[in-house]
């Protein structure tokens, strides 16, 4: 009898231990150490955007654990030396409408940052600079070259009265460029002179050249940068300055040797 009671007590005690020894299994622990994927689509370098416009900053970003409202945007007007905040903690929509700042820049860039819920992040800036300028004058029309005296080339053109958006404008002047071949690339048109008139006489050119091609560009100098570049060009008449060089000089605010 005593033996039976002892076995019964031990059985109950063992069952109690088994009840206390139950356990559960947690969900798998994920440790994400991969940074999100990010690509800037626009502006990524070379764009010409105008003050007063609204342009879209566009990007693609993806990650398995991308956080909601995890995109941050900045812009720079000095090539990335300093950045100003544009938008914080916005959704990864891939597009953000940006009203252009009222300050001109030939070295503008944007920077984007995106992060995931594990603290991983990716940050990128525009690959190269883009420009933010005032809406430029329209293309010069009716350029005519008269070499009837077989000595001089008299170049004339019609005045530009509107911008590329068809709004009224009065240019500050015209840049006369030349080339001996009919290339259309900016790199192959070289600075000849700057004038506020609607004509220019290229003296004695017909005596030394069998052919010559001219291009006229109207400009509006809102910031005074163009005046500095053109003055430097006039002070260095032996420098062969292309239209591309003029644009680069506006961007860098420097004037160097020619080609």
For 119-186, the DSSP string reads S-EEEEE-SS-EEEEPPPBPPP---EEE-TTSS-EEEE-PPP-BBTTS-B---SEEEEEEESS---SG
- Count of structural domains within the chain: 2
Q: Which domain holds residue 208?
A: 144-252
* pLDDT value at 145 more than 70: yes
Q: What is the mean pLDDT of the chain?
A: 87
Answer yes or no: is 201 within a domain: yes
- Which residue among 133, 153, 179 closes a domain? 133
CA dihedral (82, 86, 87, 92) in degrees, to 10, reads -80
Q: How far is CA 245 from CA 195, 242, 252, in A?
A: 19, 5, 10
Q: How far is CA 33 from CA 36, 59, 63, 124, in A?
A: 10, 22, 11, 18
| pLDDT for residue 256 | 42
Q: How far is CA 135 from CA 110, 125, 132, in A?
A: 21, 25, 9
pTM of the model: 0.75
Lowest mean pLDDT among 27-31, 102-106, 122-126, 162-166: 27-31
43 and 116 share one domain: yes
In this predicted model, what pLDDT tens digit does every residue of 175-193 receive, in sequence order?
999 999 888 888 899 999 9
- Which residue among 133, 160, 185 closes a domain? 133
In this predicted model, what pLDDT tens digit does every residue of 156-167 receive, in sequence order?
999 999 999 999
> Residues with Cβ < 8 Å from 86, sequence gap 6 or more?
57, 73, 74, 75, 96, 98, 110
Cβ–Cβ < 8 Å for 177, 190: yes
Cβ–Cβ < 8 Å for 138, 174: no
155 and 248 share one domain: yes
246 and 160 share one domain: yes
209 and 128 share one domain: no
């Amino acid at each position: 009898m005593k033996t039976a009671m002892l076995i019964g007590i031990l059985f109950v005690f063992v069952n109690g231990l088994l009840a206390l020894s139950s356990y559960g299994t947690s969900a798998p622990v994920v440790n994400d150490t991969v940074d999100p994927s990010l690509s800037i689509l626009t502006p990524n370098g070379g764009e010409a955007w105008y003050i007063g416009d609204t342009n879209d900053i566009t990007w693609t970003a993806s990650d398995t654990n991308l956080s909601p409202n995890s995109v941050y945007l900045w812009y720079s007007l000095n090539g990335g030396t300093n950045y100003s905040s544009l938008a914080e903690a916005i959704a990864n929509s891939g597009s953000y409408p940006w009203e252009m700042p009222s300050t001109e820049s030939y070295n503008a860039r944007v920077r984007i940052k995106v992060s995931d819920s594990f603290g991983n992040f990716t940050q990128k800036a525009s690959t190269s600079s883009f420009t933010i300028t005032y809406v430029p004058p329209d293309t010069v029309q009716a350029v005519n070259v008269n070499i009837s005296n077989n000595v001089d080339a008299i170049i004339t053109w019609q005045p530009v009265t509107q911008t590329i958006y068809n709004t009224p404008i009065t240019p500050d002047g015209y840049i006369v460029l030349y080339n001996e071949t009919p290339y259309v690339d900016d790199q192959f048109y070289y600075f000849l002179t700057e004038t506020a008139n609607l004509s220019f006489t290229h003296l004695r050119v017909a005596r030394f050249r069998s052919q010559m091609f001219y291009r006229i560009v109207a400009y509006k100098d809102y910031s005074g940068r163009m005046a500095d570049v053109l003055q430097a060009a006039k002070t260095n008449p032996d420098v062969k300055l292309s239209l591309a060089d003029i644009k680069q000089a506006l961007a860098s605010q420097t004037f160097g040797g020619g080609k």
